[in-house]
Amino acid sequence: MGLPFILLNYKTYLQGTGKGAVEIAKACKAVSEESGIEIAVAPQLPDIYRVASEVELPVFSQHLDGVGAGSFTGHIFGKSVEEAGAVGTLINHSERRLTLAEIEASLKAAKEFGLRTVICTNNVPTTAAAAALGPDYVAIEPPELIGSGIPVSKADPEVVSGSVKAVAKIDSKVKVLCGAGISKGEDLRAALDLGSQGVLLASGIVKAADPKIALEELIRLV
């Protein structure tokens, strides 16, 4: 297995807002250059352009709507996200749930503008369903563990290994990320040992006193 992919979701944490979004991205960039590991960030929508303009690393949107150009006030249009500098998007995060039809529409919109796609799921059956749609990644995150500090790779390892097996049967090109409670080196190591190809994480890095040190701790066993 090659090096993992790390996607850092800023959510709406104060530490990752505005100027803080750029500072965390700079820490990610430094650790990525030192380690060779691809680290991407998903800041709040108004900060996508700011981060993408000031730091050379992959930037993802936290959400994308399956709409085109036109009368869609308040929706998030793929072209706008792409023009702002994003290269990918989260879809169906547990804090921004979508119906299956909406997931499919968002995925189609993302692909139209060449955006990498991460569909978030919460169990093995939904992971299998998401993989059938053909995203770049599925990210398995049981919602009860998100922000808990308890990594899914330890609390429920079967949901990770089961998701990996289910996705492999459906589409071997789809990669599996492990999320929920990931913050330490042993969490990432466990996730990789269970067959995932990276992690989706948030508070353990964004809210850390020193995000760069926290990232260095995260990757120390890779």
Annotated catalytic sites, by residue? 93, 141
Stated length of the chain = 222
- Which tokens hold the place of 92? 């169906």
Q: DSSP secondary structure string, 75-104?
A: ---HHHHHHHT--EEEES-TTS---HHHHH
CA atoms within 13 A on the CB side of 150: 9
| Cα–Cα distance for residue pair 175/154, rounded to 1 Å | 20
Query: Phi then psi for 4, rounded to 5 degrees?
Result: -75, 165
Regarding beta strands 38-42 and 60-61, do their DSSP bridges make them parallel or antiparallel, or are they unpaired? unpaired
